[in-house]
Structure 1
Amino acid sequence: MPYRHRLWIAAVLGIAAIVVVALGPGTAPVSAGAAASSRTVGGVALVNDATHRPVLGLSPLTDGTVVDLSRLAGRDLGLQAESTGAATFTLTGASGGSFTATGPQGYVDCPLLATPDEYTLTVVTERGDRRTVRFTVTDSAAAGAPLDVLFVGNSLLGTFTKASGENTPQLVRHLATTRGRTLNVTQVIHSGYTLQHSWDDGLVGPALDGTKRYDYIVLQEYSTFVALSPADALRTLLHTYEPTFARALKPGGRVVLFKNWALVDPDPFASRAAAKTAIDTGYAALSTALHTPNLLAPIGDEFETVAAERGPSYLIVPDGKHPHDRAIYLDAVTLYGILFHDSPRDLSDLYVAANDAAYLRSVAAVAIGY
């Protein structure tokens, strides 16, 4: 059997294995890191009605989430429960406002979300599954507290721009500064490493020992690892990293899984579309299996949007793998929007030509729900 075909079969079997591990006997599927329970709604997303996408960073809603309307692209918001069939939403404000509606597909428009208040939301599905979450809606553009973020990855996250000499975490911090925000960056980045290699070499352990706690932990896996070795990627996430999250994350903290892009050469996959499908499948399974609240940064999705319109070389350098300066900017504005719950549409161009920067910010904004 040709080597290419053996790798393809291995990849398919690996994806099957991850599904078996994540959804084994007696285990219910769980999205965005919510705890599995036969009587609990998996999670509730805040949805931008204009784009029909979850607002990442704010979704899934958890106790203590603050929704700042002044940082959203619009105030038309809805609620989406992860459930099959209908779900009834009851939203009650501390000031007396209330809203109850049933969405046949687990989704409802919710005009009350345009009113600043402290809210209690209860979602009940048609089979009796239930989730209650308490959050705040505000319309003030308060600067907010500094964020502490740990970035763990390799050269896809660590490539420095030729224009400014900044890698992605540093560029996110730069963007935050232009908006009057403070980002305290801790980074563990080693070229060519998987997350497991970073752990085995003792590089990341000290950052996760609980001495310092983070609002977010951003994890970027080796470029092809999740697509080709999904079971190993799942084992790394659940058995190596997740046991540290309780001590390393602040209350309400989340994990951000950096969804990598498909390489220009898709080998051993038949096409870049096939490689992208394997990436999507693998990352969805990781997010589902992870019990810690988490979300997927849709970097690879954005790359495909741009590649379809302007070609892969617009974002990827001639080696077919690493990011161009424009790609690093796209990654940074996406992560800024997620981490700070703020639309990236009006961020600074920095070193990118104005037309290109506006285009990339628009792609990012749509992908993350702004």
Structure 2
Amino acid sequence: MSYRHRIIGAVLAAGLLAGAGPGASAGVPAVVGRVEVVNSATHRPVLGLSPLTDGTVVDLSRLAGIDLGLHAEGAPAFTVTGPDGDTHECADSAGCAPLHAPGPHTLTVAGAPLSVRFTVTATAGTGPALDVLFVGNSLLGTINHGSGENTPNLVRHLASAAGRALNVTEVIHSGYTLRQTWNDGLVTKALGGAKRYDFIVLQEYSTLVATNPAAARDTLLDVYGPRFERALKPGGRVVLFKNWALADPAPFPSRAAAKRAIDANYAALSAALPTPNLLAPIGDEFETVIAGKGVSYLIVPDGKHPNDTAIYLDAVTLYGILFRESPRDLADLYVPAPDAAELRSVAASAIGY
């Protein structure tokens, strides 16, 4: 029996589907999905904090003063019990006042067996070093000419410049799919459980998710999925690196069609993976920038790989997700200041700030 079939069986056995048992309520949807912290002004999830899981710490000092709301996927209503013990009903994606009170909180979905316990803090601090595993190919591994670093190490550089610490573990092999990386034994040790991570960033082959979603799904759910529980720290998350549409969209008739396939198939992957996970909206950001500046502003002449500017965009996006704060004030590093500021603004908007 596959890992995903065991998960589905466990869900059914637990009675989490509407009508599955006497506790089901007619007003509860079929399945209550993930819970997200959202920017109530834009209704975008704040990535890194979303999906909201037991033990998450929401640090108000790093949220750039945004008004926070909550979204419980598929739930008609939910309540939040704040540190004062009072219970408040919060509207979907709108501002939720208890979220701005430091202390322990519990979110409960009415009529459904779902609650999430998390903590809000307003005390700025550097926090402990993050442990992050990056698995991918040359889209993550391309070295920029400005600082001589690939994307994972540029994220670490940005963190150091911001007074934060990041421990990077890399499993990067050019030209490989995630399945090939696994089959060759390259990632077995990293996912063995001897070292545990706050985040695992997975970057699949550039066109695989768009053109062969079944293969991507099998790799994620049946090969990598069973290893996540022992490889992640409590409260850890998987980050699916959503690739960009290549300059040559074949076999799709246009880059827009390729982008639609990427979006749909990555969303399906994220929804199917039972481990708490989120999509790093790299491909979305590429389209925002390319709309004004053209493909060559981010993609080298081979039509596939990121140039120095794109690597910076990828890195500031991942920094914002991993450290749960807006990337707007990060260092310019090797990118001209006006360009760097624009890229950080694109990244900040895409990840919820």
Q: TM-score, normalised by structure 1?
A: 0.87
Quick one: distance in 2 between partners of 1:112 and 1:250? 27
Q: Structure 1 211/36 Cα, relative in aligned 2: closer, same or farther at 3 Å?
A: farther
Match of 2:16 among 30, 37, 45: 37
Q: Unmatched 5+ residue regions in structure 2?
A: 19-30
> Which sits farther off after the overlay, 89-98 or 236-245?
89-98
Identity %: 69
**Counterparts in 2 of 1:145-184, with a 5 A limit?**
145-184=128-167
Match of 2:41 among 45, 50, 54: 50
Quick one: distance in 2 between partners of 1:353 and 1:94? 45
Alignment of 1:265 with 2:248, yes or no, is: yes
Alignment of 1:90 with 2:73, yes or no, is: no
Q: Structure 1 23/237 Cα, relative in aligned 2: closer, same or farther at 3 Å?
A: closer
Query: What's the counterpart of residue 17 of structure 1?
Result: none
**Counterparts in 2 of 1:211-290, with a 5 A limit?**
211-290=194-273
CA positional deviation for 1:338:
0.5
Q: Secondary structure at the match of 2:182?
A: helix
Match of 1:63 among 30, 54, 60: 54
Amino acid at match of 1:211: A
Query: What's the counterpart of residue 204 of structure 1?
Result: 187
Q: Secondary structure at the match of 1:41?
A: coil
Query: What's the counterpart of residue 312 of structure 1?
Result: 295
CA positional deviation for 1:249:
0.9
Quick one: distance in 1 between partners of 2:34 and 2:127? 25
Amino acid at match of 1:186: T
Query: What's the counterpart of residue 76 of structure 1?
Result: 67
Quick one: distance in 2 between partners of 1:36 and 1:327? 46
**Counterparts in 2 of 1:290-301, with a 5 A limit?**
290-301=273-284
RMSD of aligned alpha carbons: 2.1
Amino acid at match of 1:141: A
Alignment of 1:321 with 2:310, yes or no, is: no
- Superposed CA deviations along residues 317-354 of structure 1, whole A, max 9, x for unmatched, are 11111001110000000000100101101000011000
Quick one: distance in 2 between partners of 1:36 and 1:136? 28
Alignment of 1:192 with 2:171, yes or no, is: no
CA positional deviation for 1:268:
0.8
Work out whether residues 38 and 129 of structure 1, in 8 Å CA contact, stay in contact via their aligned partners in 2: no
Amino acid at match of 2:105: Y
Quick one: distance in 2 between partners of 1:286 and 1:343? 26
- Superposed CA deviations along residues 229-276 of structure 1, whole A, max 9, x for unmatched, are 100000011111111111111111111000000001101100001000
Amino acid at match of 1:37: L
CA positional deviation for 1:97:
4.3
Quick one: distance in 1 between partners of 2:310 and 2:120? 33
- Superposed CA deviations along residues 168-208 of structure 1, whole A, max 9, x for unmatched, are 00000011111111100000101000000111111111111
Q: Secondary structure at the match of 2:140?
A: helix
Alignment of 1:117 with 2:117, yes or no, is: no
Amino acid at match of 1:98: T
Alignment of 1:136 with 2:119, yes or no, is: yes
Quick one: distance in 1 between partners of 2:241 and 2:342? 21
Quick one: distance in 2 between partners of 1:27 and 1:65? 25
Quick one: distance in 1 between partners of 2:61 and 2:326? 9
Work out whether residues 57 and 338 of structure 1, in 8 Å CA contact, stay in contact via their aligned partners in 2: yes
- Superposed CA deviations along residues 121-150 of structure 1, whole A, max 9, x for unmatched, are 1122xxx33421111111111111111110
Which is bigger in relative contact order (C-alpha 8 A, separation at least 6)?
1
Quick one: distance in 2 between partners of 1:157 and 1:310? 22
Quick one: distance in 1 between partners of 2:73 and 2:188? 34
Q: TM-score, normalised by structure 2?
A: 0.91
Work out whether residues 22 and 289 of structure 1, in 8 Å CA contact, stay in contact via their aligned partners in 2: no
CA positional deviation for 1:23:
11
Work out whether residues 290 and 297 of structure 2, in 8 Å CA contact, stay in contact via their aligned partners in 1: yes
CA positional deviation for 1:368:
0.3
Work out whether residues 38 and 93 of structure 2, in 8 Å CA contact, stay in contact via their aligned partners in 1: no
- Superposed CA deviations along residues 89-133 of structure 1, whole A, max 9, x for unmatched, are 2111223343224x4xx4442122122121111122xxx334211
| Aligned residue pairs, count | 336
- Superposed CA deviations along residues 267-312 of structure 1, whole A, max 9, x for unmatched, are 1100001000111111111111111111100000000111111111
